[in-house]
């Protein structure tokens, strides 16, 4: 489904509208013919679908009315932004589903009651380097304030690319995995003389994740 701001004027659009796909490419808004191809679900996509189903069942059958009302009360004080940068207030169900699906994807479990205050942290080092002697890419997101280490970090990668002028866009990233302390992920599948983009973020097993740190690497 496409999201359109001022549709008659066609000022901004994102997503599919009929046979047209609106998106961004290299910082510019573009319109292109929608790809009609149907791709089979990957194992990761199937796992995520199962997580969504499990969270939806938990909301209806596991949570008590009091617990559902607690999520609703907390959601009233939340502000989210969609892909068009429009801010909106989620429902308690939406807040619960977001945290629960993320928790399951991180290897945690569904929390019937939200953990307050929501945990957060701030790393002071984010870097990616190429170790030619092994060879492998070494991705680090660490040096957190004392007592505020996350449970893990998640790592995604886009590439390989033939040059450094090619910036990856969001759909090109694929999840490589996650790692706990000391928060260094090693990727031995990179190809020498190629360029890559990496995205990494911290996470807590209750379903809280941080902002993305995006880094480029040349494997030389």
| DSSP letter for each residue of 111-166 | -SS--SSPP----SEEEEEEETTTTEEEEEEE-PPTT---SEEEEEEEEEESSTT-
The band of 19, judged by pLDDT with boundaries at 50, 70 and 90, is confident
Q: Is the confidence at residue 4, as pLDDT, over 70? A: no
Instruction: For each of the domains in the chain, give its residue range(s) and CATH number, in order of start.
Output: 3-33 (no CATH), 43-106 (no CATH), 125-218 (2.60.40.10)
| Range in 12-21, 157-166, 194-203 the model is least confident about | 12-21
Side-chain half-sphere exposure of 217, counting CA atoms within 13 A: 29
**Paired sense of beta strands 12-17 and 20-25, if any:** antiparallel
Beta partners for residue 188, in sequence order: none
Q: Which two tokens stand for residue 76?
A: 């009233």
Q: Is the confidence at residue 8, as pLDDT, over 60? A: no
pLDDT of res. 5: 66
pLDDT of res. 32: 76
The band of 29, judged by pLDDT with boundaries at 50, 70 and 90, is confident
Contacts of 8 by beta carbon, 8 Å cutoff, 6+ apart: none
The band of 45, judged by pLDDT with boundaries at 50, 70 and 90, is confident
Note whether 85 and 74 are within 8 A (CB): no
The band of 25, judged by pLDDT with boundaries at 50, 70 and 90, is low
Q: How far is CA 180 from the centre of its chain?
A: 17
Note whether 201 and 156 are within 8 A (CB): no
pLDDT one-digit tens code per residue, 114-139: 888 899 999 999 999 999 999 999 99
pLDDT one-digit tens code per residue, 73-110: 999 999 888 777 788 899 999 999 999 999 999 999 99
pLDDT of res. 164: 93
Where do runs of H (alpha helix) occur along 12-91?
43-61, 65-75
Helix (H, G, I), strand (E, B) or coil at 9: coil
Question: Bigger pLDDT: 179 or 26?
Answer: 179
Say which DSSP state 63 is in.
Answer: S
Average pLDDT over residues 35-45: 72
Contacts of 146 by beta carbon, 8 Å cutoff, 6+ apart: none
């Amino acid at each position: 489904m496409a999201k359109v701001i001022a549709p008659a004027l066609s000022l901004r659009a994102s997503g599919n509208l009929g046979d047209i796909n609106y998106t961004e490419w290299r910082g510019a808004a573009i319109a292109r013919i929608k790809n009609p191809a149907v791709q089979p679900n990957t194992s990761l996509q199937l796992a995520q679908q199962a997580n969504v189903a499990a969270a939806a069942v938990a909301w209806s059958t596991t949570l008590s009315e009091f617990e559902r009302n607690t999520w609703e009360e907390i959601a009233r004080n939340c502000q989210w932004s969609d892909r068009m940068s429009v801010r909106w207030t989620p429902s308690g169900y939406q807040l619960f589903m977001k945290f629960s699906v993320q928790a399951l994807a991180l290897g945690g479990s569904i929390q019937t009651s939200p953990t307050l205050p929501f945990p957060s942290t701030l790393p002071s080092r984010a870097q990616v380097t190429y170790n030619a002697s092994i060879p492998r890419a070494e991705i680090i997101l660490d040096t957190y304030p004392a007592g505020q280490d996350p449970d893990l970090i998640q790592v995604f990668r886009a590439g390989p690319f033939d040059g450094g002028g090619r910036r990856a866009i969001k759909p090109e990233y694929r999840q490589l995995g996650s790692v706990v302390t000391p928060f260094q992920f090693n990727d031995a599948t990179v190809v020498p003389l190629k360029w890559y983009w990496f995205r990494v973020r911290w996470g807590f097993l209750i379903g809280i994740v941080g902002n993305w740190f995006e880094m480029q690497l040349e494997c030389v």
